[in-house]
Amino acid sequence: MTMNFSVKTKQNTLISIRNIYCIGRNYRAHATELNSEVPKEPFFFQKSLPSLNTSNEFTIPKDREIHHELEVVILIRKNGEEIPVTNTDDYILGYGLGLDLTDRKYQNELIRDQLPWLLSKSFKGSAIVSCFQEEKISEDFWLKINGDIHQKGNINQMIFSIAEQISFLSGMLPLMKGDIIFTGTPSGVGPIQNGDKLEFGYGAKTIHSLMVK
């Protein structure tokens, strides 16, 4: 079976994705709602390529409790290592929004047993992303479920800025053209159900929508 792991820019250019990185607990209110400590330095986990989802639908895996986590997502322009905080803009090809869907019950079991989160974060279609634009998302970004806002945040509320994330991550491993980084979720995470309509955007603009089935 052939699978296409690419995202689209505003210019309708397709960019092949290499890796999907996600920072954990990067908003204080979100760490609090999960009864978790606020991290003293960035920490990351990965989602697998089959998680990538640019479509307008998502199917909940059988017998699993799936939660939404809305995030600003960045697309890496070129390869880089040990990138200084002051130079990170040169490595960003675009900004989008996405959902890091999470099997919350399973994740809590893994955390309890001090095991990696991979399988609670990395099921098919669980890394939902919009198309990418050159402009930074500086206005409040939001998620609506069936017309009601469930999450809302701003990049100014991040514990570790986008620049700090790129610099830290590239100091630990090489970043590659086509990597994407989920930059953290604000508070308000919660479950999704069959039949839900999800929309996310920023300011007054909706940039992606999908149906849960």
Q: Is the pLDDT of residue 172 over 80?
A: yes
Asked whether residue 154 carries a pLDDT value surpassing 50, the answer given is: yes
CA-nearest of 52, 60, 74, 178 to 122 is 52
Extract the tokens encoding 1. Answer: 């079976």
What's the confidence (pLDDT) of residue 30? 78
For residue 104, give both structure tokens.
Answer: 């919350």
Provide the pLDDT confidence category of residue 187 given band limits of 50, 70 and 90. very high
Residues of the chain with pLDDT > 70, as a percent, come to: 98
Task: Kindly report the CATH number that applies to the domain delimited by 6-212.
Answer: 3.90.850.10
This prediction's pTM: 0.95
Q: What pLDDT was estimated at residue 1?
A: 43
Identify the pLDDT of residue 161: 97
Give the distance from CA 115 to its chain's centroid: 21
CA nearest to 191, candidates 65, 89, 82, 71: 65
pLDDT at 2: 52
Among positive and negative, which fits the CA dihedral 7, 184, 104, 187? Answer: negative
Residue environment code for 193-207, b if the CB has 16+ CB neighbours within 10 A, otherwise e: eeebebbbbbeeeeb
Phi and psi torsions of 162, nearest 5° = -60, -45
Per-residue pLDDT tens digits for 46-69 = 999 999 999 999 999 999 999 999
In 3D, which of 64, 75, 70, 73 has the Cα closest to residue 27? Answer: 70
Which of 130, 122, 138, 104 lies closest to 36 in space, CA to CA?
104
What pLDDT sits at residue 99?
98
Predicted confidence (pLDDT) at residue 18 exceeds the cutoff of 60: yes
Residue 34 pLDDT exceeds 80: no
Burial 16-29 (b: 16+ CB within 10 A, else e): ebebbbbbbbbbee
CA distances to 2, 24, 28, 29 from 36, rounded to whole Å, are 40, 11, 9, 10
Which residue ranges make up each domain of the chain?
6-212
Q: In this model, does residue 100 exceed pLDDT 90?
A: yes
Give which of 64, 62, 72, 67 is closest to 156, Cα–Cα. Answer: 72
Q: Give the CA diameter of the chain.
A: 46
Q: What is the mean pLDDT of residues 110-138?
A: 95
Q: Reduced to 3 states, what is the DSSP secondary structure of residue 28?
A: helix
